Amino acid sequence: MTSSLVLASASPFRRALLENAGLTFDARAAEVDERALERPLEQSGASPADVALALAEAKARDVARHFPGAIVIGSDQTMSLGPRVYHKPRDMAEAADHLLSLSGKTHSLNSAIVLVHAGEVLWRHVSTAHMTVRPLSRDFVGRHLNRVGAKALASVGAYQLEGEGIQLFEKIEGDYFTILGLPMLPLLSKLRELGSIDA
């Protein structure tokens, strides 16, 4: 199968990962109400990994309507600590609450990919990373957020591991690309298997 590739995302991080890997692709943001999709899933007891897969599929299917011949890459990431699923902080006070709730604990990042072609799901995958935050004081969190500024509001955990967010952690178990929100190694392997990229 040789088909063009489309990334169903407006994320500059995901786009950069594909560009850096040498892939040629189009990108289009999906028009999906994530919170409306998440609510019934969470109420039915779906795991955070299942929620990430459902959102990735919804995004891929939405964009695939505009690119009928392409393989569309849908992706999403959920972050969870026990039963709590986190969302992007709305403001700096909520970012501080996020970080303090993670202090001294291990949370999970669940990164899902779904490939859709001609209305059919070709492949589903989810990778999970486990992130242990060192004990944080409220004063340190305040100083940290003052330094990083609005960037803290751009990600679900209120941190960017590739920036100053690395200072929040004492242990990380998992793939770097999973943490960034797009498990690249399994994705590239599947695209090679499908004949969509050079093998």
Q: What is the pLDDT averaged over residues 174-181?
A: 91
Site of tokens 């964009």:
63
Task: Round to whole Å and give the CA distance between 112 and 91.
Answer: 26
pLDDT digits (tens, 9 = 90+) for 104-141: 999 999 999 999 999 999 999 999 999 999 999 999 99
Looking at residue 78, its pLDDT comes to 93
Q: What pTM does this model have?
A: 0.89
Task: Round to whole Å and give the CA distance between 192 and 186.
Answer: 10
Fold designation for 5-193 = Maf protein (3.90.950)
First to last CA, the chain: 13
Catalytic residues: 76
Task: Round to whole Å and give the CA distance between 110 and 128.
Answer: 4
DSSP reduced 3-state for 106: strand
Measure CA 11 to chain center. 9
Strand partners, 27: 7
Strands 71-81 and 84-86: antiparallel
What is the maximum alpha-carbon separation in the chain? 55
pLDDT digits (tens, 9 = 90+) for 33-49: 888 888 898 889 899 99
Does pLDDT of 29 surpass 90? yes
Task: Round to whole Å and give the CA distance between 134 and 53.
Answer: 29
The tokens for 173 are: 């178990």
